[in-house]
Amino acid sequence: MLAKRPPMGWNSWNTFGHDINEKLIMETADAMVEKGYLEAGYEYLVIDDCWSEMERDENGRLVPDHEKFPHGMKAVADYVHSKGLKFGMYSCAGVRTCAGYPSSYDHEYVDAQTFAEWGVDFLKYDFCNFPESGNCKSRYLRMSMALKASGREILFSACNWGVQEPWKWMDSIGVHMYRSTGDINDSYQSFKDIAVSQIPNLCMSGSGCFNDPDMLVVGMYGKGNVGFGGCTDEEYRTHFALWCLFGVPLMMGGDIRNLNDVSRDLLLNKELISIDQDEECRAPYLAGQSGNDHYFFVRHLSNNEFVLAYFNFSDKAGMTYHYSGAFEDIGIPYGSGYGLELTDVFTGEKLGVKRDYFVPQVEAHGCQMFKGKLVRV
């Protein structure tokens, strides 16, 4: 089964945009293995937009850009596979991709066949330049069927930016993950707005078909294709914690050949990844909220474990957030005789058993996240 858990990998768009070539892809494949990303679960290496020639060949087939990919895509796929990774590519449901390259509208079956022949394992499918007369759902359905007809198992990553509430229908047409929002950029405001917008839809995300709130910007620090000033380390920590709490795809967007240690350690944090990848694939629920700034989430994991996550989205620096909610609100009243044995997922610090209530302090733009085991007190 594809996408049993949220897919993990790397995508070229956030940092490199059109500036891609086979050397970059091969070096990135090397880095995914050598720096421990593959071992941590990041297995898909995905080339985004801008990989092809501007026109199809005489047989109506897509052609890789001869200068960027002089040895063709099959050779790139073979190299990626030789590293134990899976290979992803990009096309679009419209008549041209977002960057203006040939796209798959009315070429769905021949393109799926081409991708399969190259050894593609993952297709990101965008939504630019879609004809007014076109029907969004039927075009995603058509590519879904074309991929199935291709004879190769290809994960279908639909990217229609939340148009027509994809959380309600993408699952039923065979999609494995669907972009639920517009594009992320490398700023606190961007990932925060995206995350908050998807809270009500997370309950429709799960094993086999995940809500995709876009690729990660961790470690970009304002460099690359979706710049916008960058984030602080604390903010990247909040970004990654949100995506892992939500149990959504983790597609790295930084230049993983050169990430600093703080970013790399964050992306490789075993506790956070194990939360993201929990086998039950349940969504978190919002257990408490005060104003538009303070959010308290709980997520049920397998093995009687739970995540307690506290976010402070306030912009007022120095304002710490004391959440004063009671365990009563999460199904564990004092009289039950049960409490939660808490561990800080970032530091590994054991906080002992808490019952009745728990009041962590959270800095502005920061978060606190704990794993709890339900125990008799």
Which sequence positions are flagged as catalytic? 126, 183
State which residue, 207 or 225, has the beta carbon closest to ligand GLA.
Answer: 225
31 binds ligand GLA (CB under 6 A): no
By CB under 6 A, what part of segment 159-188 binds ligand GLA? 159, 183
Is 93 an interacting residue with respect to ligand GLA (CB under 6 A)?
no
Site for ligand GLA contains 212 (CB under 6 A):
no
Confirm if 239 and 231 have CB atoms less than 8 A apart: yes
One-letter amino acid of 73? M
Span from 95-103, 236-244, 324-332, 355-363 in contact with ligand GLA (CB under 6 A)? 95-103
Q: Which residues within the stretch 221-280 sit at the binding site for ligand GLA (CB under 6 A)?
A: none
The least CB distance from residue 42 to ligand GLA, in Å, is 18
Q: Measured between alpha carbons, how far is 65 from 55 in angstroms, rounded to an integer?
A: 10
Confirm or reject binding of residue 220 to ligand GLA (CB under 6 A): no
Looking at the Cβ atoms of 121 and 278, the one nearer to ligand GLA is 121
State the binding string over 33-52 for ligand GLA (x if CB under 6 A, else -): ---------------xx---
The stretch near ligand GLA (CB under 6 A) out of 94-102, 192-200, 249-257, 326-334 is: 94-102
CA 74/CA 109 separation, integer angstroms = 18
The nearer residue to ligand GLA, 99 or 326, going by C-beta atoms, is 99
- Answer for the pair 160, 93: CB distance below 8 angstroms, yes or no: yes
Selected from 2, 26, 75, 99, the binder of ligand GLA by CB under 6 A is 99
CB within 8 Å of 347: residues ≥ 6 apart: none
What end-to-end distance do the CA atoms of the chain give, in Å? 40
Q: Which is nearer to ligand GLA, 98 or 155 (CB)?
A: 98
Q: Which stretch binds ligand GLA (CB under 6 A): 26-34, 93-101, 135-143, 145-153?
A: 93-101
Q: Minimum Å distance from CB 126 to ligand GLA?
A: 5
Tokens of 54: 């501007």
Instruction: Count the residues of the shown chain that bind ligand GLA, applying the rule CB under 6 A.
Output: 9
- Output the smallest distance, CB 99 to ligand GLA, in A: 4
Residue nearer to ligand GLA on the CB measure, 113 or 185: 185
The residue among 49 and 278 lying less far from ligand GLA, judged by its C-beta, is 49
Question: Is position 65 an interface residue for ligand GLA (rule: CB under 6 A)?
Answer: no
CB of 96 to ligand GLA, least distance (A): 10
Q: Which of residues 102-161 bind ligand GLA (CB under 6 A)?
A: 126, 159
Nearest Cα to Cα of residue 99 among 212, 9, 184, 20: 20
The residue type of 220 is M
CB of 226 to ligand GLA, least distance (A): 9
**Chain residues that interact with ligand GLA, rule: CB under 6 A:** 13, 48-49, 97-99, 126, 159, 183
